[in-house]
Amino acid sequence: MSLASPTSKLSDVIVVGLGGVGSAACYWLAKHGYSVVGVDQFDPPHRMGSSHGDTRIIRKSYFEHPSYVPLLIRAYELWRDLESRIGKQIYFPTGLLEIGPADGIVLSGVTRSAREHSLAIELMSIDQACLQYPGIRGSGDWQVVLEKDAGYLLVEQCVAAHLEQSRQLGAQIRTCQRMIRWQADSQGVLVETEREILRAKKLILCAGPWASQVLAQYSIPLQVLRKHLYWYPCKSGSYSKERGFPCFFYDTPTGYYYGFPDHSGQGLKVARHSGGQWLEGIPDGQHFPDDQDRKLVEAFLQSYLPEVELQLKRWSGCYYTMTPDEHFIVDRLPDQANVVVVAGLSGHGFKFTSVLGQIAGELAIESHSALDIDFFRFHRFGESGSIGSGNHVC
Ligand SMILES: Cc1cc2nc3c(=O)[nH]c(=O)nc-3n(C[C@H](O)[C@H](O)[C@H](O)COP(=O)(O)OP(=O)(O)OC[C@H]3O[C@@H](n4cnc5c(N)ncnc54)[C@H](O)[C@@H]3O)c2cc1C
């Protein structure tokens, strides 16, 4: 290896990126007795990447594809384990209403996953749903699915809890130092950060929106989208979590919109899952509001959640890291078996981060995972994901 002399002793695994996935990978490795060094360019949880903004929806009847369901079943178990370890609630089972045309991508996908994996869902007409949840509206021919054990996770608290538990279990967590370069061969890996050179037997790269940068020599088809989150006050208690209002996901003619109940008067949180602005160049963590996106969100609220007051309380920007098929990348590098990549979570990955931590750890240590991840491998991109090797400068 040609990097200068390492300044640390050999560890089992280095994890680069300590957001949703990396914090969970450190935790899984430390919990299973492996020596792990985690590195992040910032001090997670932070607001520069993809894991911030208070809450993330978790659901099991996955419309995106039934292949995700076994991972979700394990993810739920791991979130529960984490909660019992820290003695604090981070998962709130508010339920989730999925609303739209019965033959649309969302409802047909939800019912397919539920059928294939025998998951409990409740189907109702839009009229029945409006009676049960008087604040909602929808087109007369739409259908509604209620998934009762769906809900939300407290996103920053999940990352913080994984990192804190990792530290307590002996992981070395290095924050505010960027990885500049990495190198791997059959002997192991070297990672050069702004401050030191680290070495380990294995490397896990989970750099979120910076994945293309840390994997610059691989033509991995990733593109970053700038996305927006909004919080609005409510005219009545119709959307209050305390009164049993659930999370929601709408499939409408102007795209997908989702949101969270008003919790303790903090406002109803809502966002547009469709759309966003494609980023050119490397994400700089600087987010800017987008008037067009906000107009669409407010038109959605007027039509379907009219008890919301259109006086914006709070806004936040965030990144989606998209693959062409919007499915995750979870694999070892084709030409570097010591290097595991988790990337391209395509705007729906947080709920999985507990199990992706386990899978990344298993791939690093045992070269395979107990869970079936064939659906998420590089080979689906043909040759494009398998080129390049050598010295990787970020
Ligand atoms: C607005 C919004 C809403 C979402 N809603 C949901 C939802 O409801 N449900 C859901 O499941 N998912 C949702 N997602 C998606 C989910 O939040 C992401 O898929 C997930 O958080 C990504 O985690 P990550 O670990 O890949 O990235 P991050 O959490 O961004 O972590 C990447 C880390 O890598 C670090 N890093 C990068 N490069 C380097 C380097 N060279 N050296 C050192 N460190 C480096 C970064 O600093 C960062 O901390 C949403 C995303 C957004 C943006």
**Domain spans, the chain:** 11-50+156-221+326-393, 96-148+223-322
260 in contact with ligand 1, CB cutoff 6 A = no
Single-letter code of the amino acid located at 50: S
Burial (CB count <10 Å: 0-12, 13-18, 19+), residue 309: middle
Residue nearest to atom 4 of ligand 1 (CA): 347
Catalytic (active site) residue 368: no
pLDDT in tens, the chain (394 residues): 455 555 678 999 999 999 999 999 999 999 999 999 999 999 999 999 999 999 999 999 999 999 999 999 999 999 999 999 999 999 999 999 999 999 999 999 999 999 999 999 999 999 999 999 999 999 999 999 999 999 999 999 999 999 999 999 999 999 999 999 999 998 999 999 999 999 999 999 999 999 999 999 998 999 999 999 999 999 999 999 999 999 999 999 999 999 999 998 899 999 999 999 999 989 998 888 999 999 999 999 999 999 999 999 999 999 999 999 999 999 999 999 999 999 999 999 999 999 999 999 999 999 999 999 999 999 999 764 443 554 566 6
- Give first-to-last CA distance, the chain, whole Å: 17
pLDDT of residue 367: 95
The pTM is what?
0.96
Single-letter code of the amino acid located at 255: G
Residue 23: name the closest of 84, 93, 79 by CA.
Answer: 79
Sequence-separated (6 or more) residues with CB below 8 Å from residue 194: 177, 178, 180
- Domain covering 96-148+223-322, topology: D-Amino Acid Oxidase; Chain A, domain 2 (3.30.9)
Catalytic (active site) residue 52: yes
From 202, 228, 273, 327, active-site residue? 273
From 162, 241, 269, 332, active-site residue? 269
The domain 11-50+156-221+326-393 having CATH identifier 3.40.50.11540: the answer here is: no
**SS3 for 23?**
helix
Q: Are 51 and 61 in contact (CB under 8 A)?
A: no
Residue 22: name the closest of 327, 302, 341, 286 by CA.
Answer: 341
From 351, 353, 392, 394, active-site residue? 351
pLDDT of residue 383: 60
> Residue 250 pairs with which residues in a beta bridge?
99, 257
CA of 134 to the centre of ligand 1 (A): 35
Catalytic (active site) residue 56: yes
Radius of gyration of the chain (CA): 21
Q: Are 356 and 349 in contact (CB under 8 A)?
A: yes
- Residue showing tokens 């360019």: 41
162 in contact with ligand 1, CB cutoff 6 A = no
Sequence-separated (6 or more) residues with CB below 8 Å from residue 229: 53, 269, 270, 271, 315, 316, 317, 318
pLDDT of residue 346: 98
**Angle at alpha carbon of residue 355, lines to 15 and 201, rounded to 5°:** 30
Work out which ligand 1 atom sits closest to the CA atom of 42.
47
Residue 145: name the closest of 178, 100, 182 by CA.
Answer: 100
Catalytic (active site) residue 327: no
pLDDT of residue 392: 67
In degrees and rounded to multiples of 5, residue 52 shows phi and psi of -155, 170
Please give the biggest Cα pair distance in the chain: 69
332 in contact with ligand 1, CB cutoff 6 A = no
CA of 210 to the centre of ligand 1 (A): 9
pLDDT of residue 245: 98
Strands (E), 233-278: 247-252, 255-260, 268-272, 277-278
Burial state string for 266-279 with b = 16 or more CB within 10 A and e = fewer than 16: ebbbbbbbebbeeb
Best of 39, 56, 158 to mutate for ligand 1, by most ligand atoms within 8 A of CB?
56
44 in contact with ligand 1, CB cutoff 6 A = yes
Work out which ligand 1 atom sits closest to the CA atom of 50.
30
Work out which ligand 1 atom sits closest to the CA atom of 346.
19
